[in-house]
Amino acid sequence: MAARAESLTGGEDLAARLWATRRLSLDLVAALSDADATIQPHPDASPAKWHLAHTTWFLETFVLRDHVAGHAPFDPRFAYLFNSYYEAEGERHSRAHRGMLSRPSLAEIVAWRNAVDHQVARALDTLPQAARDLIELGIQHEQQHQELLLTDLLASFAENPLAPAVWSRPRPTPAPVAGPIGWIEGREGLAEIGHDGTGFGFDCEGPRHAVLLHPHALADRLVTNAEWKEFMADGGYARADHWLADGWAWVKANRVEAPLYWRRDGEGGWLQFGLDGLHPLHPAAAVTHVSHYEADAYARWAGARLPTEPEWEVAAAGLDSAAGNQLDGAGPVRPRAASRSGSVGQMFGDGWQWTSSAFLPYPGFKTAEGAVGEYNGKFMSGQAVLKGASCATPRGHSRASYRNFFYPHQRWQFTAVRLAKDL
């Protein structure tokens, strides 16, 4: 995974953030059995213990192996099992069959993590700057996998007819539905987007460059569950005129009639499955777990469109990216109700927001040399950009220039919808 940074933090701050990140990963799986942590719901997702193992492989490989003389791997076989897609690191176990790895056990993987952490701690003060930069990269990488761990775990538990909760907790009384969407006029003319070189940034966030913004407005909040139900009641999933051709073919082939994890309650209403189990749908909460196809269709039905990546990023510039409903610790993360603020709200937290922009390289983009350069550039094909952060994103991980990306049919992540329109 490649990074761009003017200067990366060192010393005590780097160590404190590394150990806090490593602890959070273990906290997220503390309530799981070995079976819970082993199952894989579909090929796009991975078992919880695989995420724990892969992030440990990253540190052992790129920090200890490459920068600590005489390092011996905890188990040489693990490199084959827990490499993800780094071609430069050789052959690896099939992604679609990660759920077949009943061994090593969750306990063995935790023991491996502890051993690697101990070795990193011993070497930390003497590591060269290149290795310290890789530790920063490892922190950011593990934070990405913490979100994936939660969404993959949700997908796994959703496959169980018992609808079990990872974390049982009564849901609060639903807040009142927000008033009608307001529109905030966006900036017009030339603007700059992309990482500005201050602090950490992934390679795909740069180079910073100029864009031309045409007259437009952004919705002041995310689309809610209640509003999505209106789309459904008006035949949103049954009328081809709302949909892109690929989206309509996907709806018909998969018999899609609602967002992922919505279930009928038998009385004409809807329930929603989450990490806290099955509960009545929250009408005021942001709709999540919708594909790009669904987001685009809803926007067309609403007489609007999805924002472009530059429109969204310029609107978010200067906002506190660590604010909003994001991940602070283990527990039943969920989107919350929108509130009217008179400005562009919910830019960070609740759900990643689909844009109409393709995930493509910025002018002048170059991948880094070696295996860590494989992370972003080679995936710039057929995917759409999402901006912001979700309720499962570790707080402080995202920023305005952050470029999340998924294929247009994927929706097991906390993906949400913000509308835009031309002026």
Dump pLDDT digits (tens) for 300-345: 999 999 999 999 999 999 999 999 999 999 999 999 887 666 689 9
At 37-70, the pLDDT tens digits run 999 999 999 999 999 999 999 999 999 999 999 9
Note whether 148 and 223 are same-domain residues.
no
Cα separation, 205 vs 385, in Å, equals 11
**How many structural domains is the chain composed of?**
2
Note whether 294 and 203 are same-domain residues.
yes
Note whether 124 and 267 are same-domain residues.
no
Note whether 10 and 122 are same-domain residues.
yes
Spatial contact of 411 and 354, defined as CB atoms under 8 Å apart: no
Give the closest residue to 50 by CA, choosing from 76, 21, 80: 80
Is residue 412 assigned to a domain? yes
- Answer yes or no: is pLDDT of 240 > 70: yes
pLDDT at 172: 66
Note whether 64 and 199 are same-domain residues.
no
Domain that holds residue 334: 183-422
Amino acid of residue 55: T
pLDDT at 342: 67
CATH (domain of 139): 1.20.120
Quickly state the pLDDT bin for 85 (edges 50, 70, 90). Answer: confident
Instruction: Specify which residues 201 forms β-bridges with.
Output: 4
Spatial contact of 364 and 410, defined as CB atoms under 8 Å apart: no
Note whether 297 and 378 are same-domain residues.
yes
Note whether 219 and 149 are same-domain residues.
no
Helix, strand or coil, per DSSP, at residue 58:
helix
Those residues with Cβ within 8 angstroms of residue 286's Cβ, 6 or more apart along the chain or in another chain: 221, 222, 223, 224, 225, 335, 336, 338, 346, 350, 351, 416
CATH (domain of 265): 3.90.1580.10
What's the whole-number mean pLDDT along residues 127-139? Answer: 95
Is residue 7 assigned to a domain? yes
Is residue 173 assigned to a domain? no
3-state helix, strand, coil in the chain (%, to 5): 35, 15, 50
Is residue 177 assigned to a domain? no
Cα separation, 169 vs 41, in Å, equals 24
Is residue 220 assigned to a domain? yes
Task: Check the CA dihedral 76-78-80-85 and report its sign.
Answer: negative
**DSSP characters over 37-48:** TT--SSTTS--H
Note whether 134 and 200 are same-domain residues.
no
Is residue 318 assigned to a domain? yes
Is the pLDDT higher at 173 or at 401?
A: 401
Amino acid of residue 271: L
Note whether 9 and 128 are same-domain residues.
yes
Cα angle 172, 176, 182 (rounded to 5 degrees) comes to 130
What's the whole-number mean pLDDT along residues 8-28? Answer: 87
Which of 158, 174, 203 delimits the end of a domain? 158
Note whether 193 and 61 are same-domain residues.
no
Amino acid of residue 158: A
For the ranges 4-8, 153-157, 182-186, 217-221, the lowest mean pLDDT is seen at: 4-8
Decide: pTM greater than 0.85. yes
Note whether 110 and 202 are same-domain residues.
no
Which of 158, 191, 213 delimits the end of a domain? 158
Cα 105 to its chain centre, rounded Å, is 26
Is residue 170 assigned to a domain? no
Note whether 290 and 412 are same-domain residues.
yes
Is residue 176 assigned to a domain? no
